[in-house]
């Protein structure tokens, strides 16, 4: 390490020296000072269309380094981002291999539009997902959270921006090879909490023997269906790369391979990826380069799920006398028949079943940059060219998964292509005049996206050998081409932008942005909108009155205001919708069209106005750093379906109505707690944040839209349901009034009554729909933490997350999965239910009053306190001694062992079920009935079970 020191205290000279020093150097203001770390001197933040020293940033920007992401070996870098940044909520939407995750930055703004953040890869808007990028490729991720930071990306950045910067080579660097690898086994975090045979037999008895034994059931059988279905699975990641440079340029090339098998049979995900980056200087004034990220993915067996196995009776025997598996079983007084789902029976289907998807994607960025004669002025052209294609197919042979051995075969085949290009012209002026520093950027860009998709299905495929590859061989009458599954979309966006960043004396900072977007999605007269943003910063540390506070290294105040917009409407929505409908006129069959949604020539943008206030601080020679922020975002002109009069002959019209609001606090703190000369270091970080989301108004002045579960004054993901207040017990008054139905009795679920009372104190009516309550599901607060201990060559690190309050929806315990019917039909979750000897419990009397197949008000049993504290990973690593590596011509070698999902604490749901308390499905999937919850809501359903992984890995450079 090189040292540079000034013999006398001279802040101006020191600042000048810092500006000129290469990034590999560190400095000391006097010989007695503690040498500062490089990252604390000149930490640079990517802010979009440029970079800025961290101490000069005036917007809300959070940075996660690539090394921190690699502390969590994972298939998807969004998993590694979980819990790392305040205000960024990352959640599972599926627990299947290769599944993408949901990212929300500072809440949900739009009711019907897109709430996903914009991803920018190496300066170009990215149409892929973060799952398409290997963590080994990433140098840093910068997250822009407020309007003053995101305004430069216009309507695309309305929901926040994630800037991904990949690794590059260095000029003059000799070729450096790297190899990063991990391999491990995925084990079951916990089984679904289903009853075993003895408990299930007792349940049937306590339910009054509504259902007796089926043909394949005996009271002495105790089948563990999950053990017959799940099996530990492998996961592996291999990445090789080479980087280097010449005097005029640099390069980076890498190949990676990832494969993850599922615990359920025949399900897996594979990804092959190639990345190339090149930068080349030509003469003094011209530079060009390109980046390509290309990948090929294969997903298999996504149609395989856990639900059929969970629904089986543990009293059923799946084996024939000869030890082979039965084809079907009959249970519950032979009311239920089911195909026998086990690992072997699924694997033995062979060509009778296939469900796969193959995708190829290439994301390319080409740029050229010219230094113009005017000092500080540059012109840059960015060209993004992206292509993605996906082909999927499924086939289920005759009788597969069906109790009817002669059930017809079925197949489906789909494909889609995305063609995307973007062209950006950038003019940048960057100069320093004494104490004045000016950076100005002007942009003009054009972007176009074309998406084509088709799907065809058929029944009675002639043979298993055809599978889905030649659906045309099926009888013509059995081939279906649904017009709703044939899609063509094309949209375009033209934009201009100007941004000025001004700093005076490294104390006072201003950033002003003006952006205009024109979208083809919107109606003439509303296509264009221009919106401003402004942020101010005051670096109090550099004021003369702060010089005596030597323990304060940074104290900066920030304030920002800005407007962004969201082109959340789907293409062609301004034109209305025609729907195809078959009809007959006498004996003649025909096809007609009708208007299903009215056009709206006034359809425009959704607008968000954001205020952001922040404080950045650093103390004790930058050993303690942090940020405190408050924000408020109000989104207006929300796109929503407005009901039309029946006389119009139409149901609704999409219009700009409705308002939402998000506001909250964010706090981040990072510290080097111990730095000892003996080689022991302890670093820690924590982030904490709140987000209060609510709807302020809806269409037509209504205060509720029960069909969509939207309610004014409540968050977007609120529920409407009865409030469970326990169970009816002996001696409770008014049971016969509040629950007058035949069969109502003690032991049934008791819900809150909100009606009036007569003069004698008796309720005026029975409990009904008017007693349902609006239930806000958002947590009170949440966050994450990380710690790293290092002693000489050893290191121990952990990453975790926490959440307090909120409502977790577990459909296993509610009414929509048919797994808690408490009647003795189908499998049942293991619950402590009411009996006369055991009255003080949560779950009702078996066989009591029912609504359909479930106990009345069973949906209230699906709701749990969503609090938890969770360790996501624990990693023990060892860095091999460099002296030893010299003899092997190696630069570095790190070996590590990682455990994921090792521990969950303070979770009521985990205490009840033993399961991972994080959602594994979207609200309209992985249930027997998928209509109770909305797709925007996240639930625990009958998806793949959570895993605990044990991984060994190494990082090698030479």
Of 465-469, 481-485, 663-667, the range with the lowest mean pLDDT is 481-485
Bridge partner residues of 801 (DSSP): 784, 870
pLDDT of residue 5: 36
For the segment 681-728, what is each residue's pLDDT rounded down to a tens digit? 999 999 999 999 999 999 888 899 999 999 999 999 999 999 999 999
Residues whose CB falls within 8 Å of the CB of residue 463, separated by 6 or more in sequence, listed in order: none
Q: Which two tokens stand for residue 881?
A: 């001694």
pLDDT for the residue 42: 58
Q: What is the pLDDT of residue 24?
A: 33
DSSP secondary structure letter of residue 844: P
pLDDT in tens, 594-642: 887 788 888 888 889 999 999 999 999 999 999 999 999 999 998 887 7
Q: Which residues lie across from 144 on neighbouring strands?
A: 61, 161
Q: 349: which residues sit within 8 A by CB, 6+ positions away?
A: 397, 400
Q: What integer pLDDT is reported at residue 32 of this predicted model? A: 34
Question: How far apart, in whole angstroms, are the C-alpha atoms of residue 258 and residue 74?
Answer: 10
Would you state the pLDDT for residue 55?
A: 82
Q: What is the pLDDT of residue 156?
A: 85
pLDDT of residue 846: 97
* Residues 288 and 357 sit within 8 Å (Cβ to Cβ): no
Residue ranges with strand state E in 192-248: 233-245
> Are 78 and 69 a contacting pair, CB within 8 Å?
no
The confidence score (pLDDT) of residue 27 equals 34
- The token pair that represents 622 in the structure block: 């930058």
CA–CA distance from 505 to each of 56, 227, 613, 617, 654 (Å)?
A: 11, 68, 22, 19, 51
pLDDT greater at residue 435 or residue 75: 435
Q: What gap in Å lies between CA 27 and CA 4, rounded to an integer?
A: 5
Q: Comparing C-alpha atoms, which of 83, 60, 61, 62 is closest to residue 71? A: 83
Structure tokens at 240: 């090789």
Give yes or no for residue 304 having a pLDDT over 70: yes
Tracing tokens 């149409």 back to the chain, one arrives at: 127
Helix (H, G, I), strand (E, B), or coil: what is residue 530? Answer: strand
Section 197-207 average pLDDT: 97
Distances (CA, A) of 362 to 242, 295, 536, 927: 20, 7, 39, 36
pLDDT digits (tens, 9 = 90+) for 143-190: 999 998 998 998 888 899 999 999 888 888 899 999 999 999 999 999
Comparing C-alpha atoms, which of 113, 117, 148, 112 is closest to residue 130? 117
- For residue 2, pLDDT beyond 80: no
Q: Is residue 803 within 8 Å of residue 311, measured between CB atoms?
A: no
Q: What is the mean pLDDT of residues 907-912?
A: 97
- Contact assessment for residue 947 and residue 918, using Cβ atoms and an 8 Å cutoff: no
Confidence of residue 795 (pLDDT cuts 50, 70, 90): very high
What 3-state DSSP class applies to 21?
Answer: coil
pLDDT of 659 higher than 90: yes
Mean pLDDT of the chain: 91
Q: Average pLDDT in the 642-667 region?
A: 85
Q: Considering all CA atoms of the chain, what is the largest pairwise distance in Å, rounded to the nearest integer?
A: 102
DSSP state of 945: P
d(CA 829, CA 342): 19
Name beta bridge partners: 419: 387, 450
Tokens of 350: 């062979």
Contacts of 934 (CB under 8 A, 6+ apart): 708, 709, 717, 923, 924
Q: Residue 855 in contact with residue 739, Cβ under 8 Å?
A: no
Is a pLDDT exceeding 80 seen at residue 20? no
Q: In angstroms, rounded to a whole number, what is the distance separating the alpha carbons of residues 205 and 199?
A: 10
Structure-block tokens of residue 684: 């820690």
Q: List CB contacts of 429: < 8 A, sequence separation 6 or more.
A: 374, 376, 377, 378, 438, 439, 440, 441
Measured distance CA(283)–CA(875) in Å, rounded: 47
- Residue 612 has a CB neighbour count (10 Å cut-off) of 25
Whether 833 and 695 have beta carbons less than 8 Å apart is answered as: no
- Sequence-distant (6+) residues with CB within 8 A of 884 are none
Burial class (CB in 10 A: 0-12, 13-18, 19+), 763: middle
* Strand-pair partners of 516: 496, 530
CB 896 within 8 A of CB 877: yes
Provide the 8-state DSSP code for 173: P
Closest listed residue to residue 441, CA positions, set 431, 428, 430, 425: 428
Q: Give the Cα separation of 837 and 359 in Å (integer).
A: 58
Q: pLDDT digits over 238-260, tens only? A: 999 999 999 899 999 999 999 99
3-state DSSP call for residue 771? helix
Token code pair at residue 474: 């099926």
Among 686, 725, 672, 761, residue whose Cα is nearest residue 83: 686
CA separation (Å) from 421 to 369, 470, 606? 19, 33, 24
Domains of the chain from N-terminus onward: 42-167+522-691 (2.170.130.10)
Is residue 16 scored above 80 in pLDDT?
no
More confident residue, 667 or 46: 667
The C-alpha atoms of residue 169 and residue 248 are separated, in whole angstroms, by 12
Categorise residue 97: left if φ over 0, alpha if ψ from -120 to 50, beta otherwise: beta
- The per-residue pLDDT for range 78-119, each reduced to its tens digit, is 988 998 999 999 999 999 999 989 999 999 999 988 899 999
Pull the structure tokens for residue 590: 């025909």
- List the one residue out of 69, 70, 103, 74 whose CA is nearest residue 88: 103
**Cα 699 to the center of its chain, rounded Å:** 29
Q: Are 494 and 528 in contact (CB under 8 A)?
A: no
How many Cβ atoms from other residues are within 10 Å of residue 726's Cβ?
A: 12
Q: What angle do CA 288, 294, 298 make, to 5 degrees?
A: 175
In the numeric block, which tokens belong to residue 642? 């407005």
Cβ partners under 8 Å of residue 711, min gap 6: 695, 703, 704, 705, 718, 720, 774
- Judged by phi (left if over 0) then psi (alpha if -120 to 50, else beta), residue 50 lies in left
Q: What is the pLDDT of residues 23-43, one digit of tens each?
A: 333 333 333 333 343 334 457
- CB atoms < 10 A from the CB of 756, how many? 8
pLDDT value of position 517: 94
Burial class of 524 by CB neighbour count within 10 A (0 to 12, 13 to 18, 19+):
exposed
Q: How confident is the model at residue 13 (pLDDT cuts 50, 70, 90)?
A: very low
- For the chain, give the percent of residues with pLDDT over 90: 76
User: In terms of pLDDT, which residue wins out, 87 or 9?
Assistant: 87
Provide CB contacts within 8 A for 928, sequence distance 6+.
Answer: 307, 816, 817, 818
Distances (CA, A) of 93 to 106, 127, 163, 192, 282: 18, 19, 22, 18, 47
Phi and psi dihedrals of 120, rounded to 5? -120, 120
């Amino acid at each position: 390490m090189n040292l540079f020191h000034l013999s006398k205290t001279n802040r101006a000279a020191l600042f000048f020296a810092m500006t000129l020093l290469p990034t590999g150097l560190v400095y000391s203001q006097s010989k007695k000072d503690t040498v500062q770390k490089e990252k604390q001197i000149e930490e640079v933040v990517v802010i979009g269309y440029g970079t800025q020293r961290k101490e000069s940033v005036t917007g809300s920007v959070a940075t996660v380094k690539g090394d921190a992401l690699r502390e969590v070996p994972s298939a998807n870098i969004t998993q590694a981002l979980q819990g790392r940044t305040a205000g960024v909520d990352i959640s599972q939407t599926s627990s299947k291999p290769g599944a993408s995750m949901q990212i929300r930055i500072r809440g949900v703004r739009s009711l019907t539009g897109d709430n996903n953040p914009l991803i920018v890869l190496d300066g170009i808007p990215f149409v892929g997902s973060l799952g398409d990028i290997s963590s080994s490729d990433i140098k840093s991720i910068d997250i822009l959270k407020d309007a003053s930071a995101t305004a430069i990306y216009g309507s695309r950045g309305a929901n926040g921006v994630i800037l991904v910067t990949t690794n590059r080579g260095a000029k003059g660097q000799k070729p450096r090879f790297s190899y990063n690898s991990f391999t491990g086994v995925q084990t079951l975090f916990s089984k679904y909490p289903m009853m075993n045979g003895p408990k299930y037999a007792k349940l049937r008895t306590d339910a009054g023997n509504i259902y007796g034994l089926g043909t394949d059931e005996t009271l002495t059988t105790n089948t563990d269906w999950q053990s017959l279905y799940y099996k530990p699975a492998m996961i592996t990641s291999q990445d090789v790369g080479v980087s280097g440079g010449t005097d005029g340029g640099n390069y980076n090339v890498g190949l990676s391979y990832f494969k993850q098998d599922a615990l359920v049979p025949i399900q897996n995900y594979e990804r092959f990826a190639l990345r190339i980056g090149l930068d080349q200087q030509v003469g003094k004034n011209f530079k060009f380069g390109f980046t390509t990220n290309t990948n090929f993915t294969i997903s298999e067996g996504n149609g395989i799920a856990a639900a059929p196995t969970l629904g089986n009776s543990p009293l059923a025997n799946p084996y024939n006398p000869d030890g082979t598996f039965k084809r079907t079983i009959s249970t519950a007084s032979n009311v239920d028949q089911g195909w026998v789902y086990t690992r072997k029976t699924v694997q033995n289907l062979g060509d009778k079943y296939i469900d796969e998807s193959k995708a190829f994607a290439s994301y390319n960025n080409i740029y050229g940059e010219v230094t113009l004669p005017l000092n500080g002025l540059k012109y840059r052209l960015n060209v993004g060219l992206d292509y993605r294609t996906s082909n999927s197919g499924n086939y289920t042979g005759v009788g597969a998964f069906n109790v009817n051995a002669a059930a017809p075969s079925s197949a489906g085949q789909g494909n889609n292509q995305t063609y995307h290009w973007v062209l950006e012209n950038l003019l940048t002026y960057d100069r320093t005049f004494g104490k004045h520093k000016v950076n100005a950027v002007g942009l003009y860009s054009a972007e176009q996206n074309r998406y084509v998709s088709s799907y065809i299905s058929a029944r009675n495929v002639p043979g298993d050998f055809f599978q889905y590859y030649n659906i045309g061989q099926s009888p013509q009458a059995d081939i279906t081409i649904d017009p709703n599954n044939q899609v063509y979309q094309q949209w375009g966006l033209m934009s201009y932008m100007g941004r000025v960043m001004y700093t005076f004396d490294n104390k006072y900072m201003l950033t002003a942005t003006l952006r205009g977007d024109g979208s083809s999605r919107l109606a003439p007269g509303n296509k264009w909108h221009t919106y401003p943003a402004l942020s101010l910063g005051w670096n109090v540390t550099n004021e003369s009155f702060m010089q005596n506070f030597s323990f304060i290294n940074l104290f900066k105040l920030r304030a920002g205001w800005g407007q962004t917009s969201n082109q959340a409407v789907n293409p062609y929505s301004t034109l209305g919708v025609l729907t195809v409908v078959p009809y007959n006129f006498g004996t003649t069959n025909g096809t007609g069209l009708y208007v299903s949604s009215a056009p709206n020539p006034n359809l425009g943008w959704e607008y968000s106005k954001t205020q952001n206030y922040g404080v950045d601080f650093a103390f004790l020679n930058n050993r303690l750093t942090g940020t405190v922020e408050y924000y408020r975002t109000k989104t207006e002109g929300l796109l929503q379906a407005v009901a039309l009069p029946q006389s119009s002959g139409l149901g609704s019209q999409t219009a700009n109505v409705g308002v939402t609001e998000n506001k909250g606090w964010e706090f981040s703190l990072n510290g080097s707690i111990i730095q000892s000369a003996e080689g022991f270091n302890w670093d820690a970080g924590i982030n904490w944040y709140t987000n209060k989301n609510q709807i302020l108004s809806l269409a037509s002045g209504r205060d509720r839209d029960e069909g969509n579960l939207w309610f004014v004054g409540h968050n977007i993901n609120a529920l409407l349901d009865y409030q469970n207040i326990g169970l009816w017990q002996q001696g409770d008054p008014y049971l016969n009034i509040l629950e007058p139905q035949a069969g109502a009795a003690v032991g049934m679920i008791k819900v809150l009554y909100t009606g009036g009372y007569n003069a004698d104190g008796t309720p005026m009516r029975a409990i009904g729909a008017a007693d349902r309550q609006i239930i806000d599901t958002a947590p009170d607060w949440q966050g994450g933490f990380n710690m790293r201990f290092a002693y000489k060559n050893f290191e121990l690190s952990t990453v975790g997350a926490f959440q307090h309050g909120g409502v977790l929806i577990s459909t296993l315990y509610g009414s929509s999965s048919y797994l808690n019917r408490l009647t003795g039909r189908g499998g049942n979750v293991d619950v402590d239910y009411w009996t006369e000897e055991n009255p003080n419990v949560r779950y009702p009397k078996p066989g009591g009053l029912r609504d359909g197949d479930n106990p009345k008000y069973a949906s209230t049993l699906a709701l749990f306190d969503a609090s938890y504290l969770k360790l996501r990973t624990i990693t023990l690593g060892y860095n091999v001694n460099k002296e030893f590596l010299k003899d092997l011509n190696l630069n570095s070698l790190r070996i590590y062992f990682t455990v994921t999902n090792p521990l969950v604490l303070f979770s009521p749901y985990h205490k009840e079920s033993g399961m991972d308390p994080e959602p594994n499905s979207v609200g309209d999937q992985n249930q027997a009935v998928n209509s109770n919850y909305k797709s925007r809501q996240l639930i625990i359903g009958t998806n793949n079970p959570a895993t605990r992984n044990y991984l060994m890995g190494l990082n090698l450079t030479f």
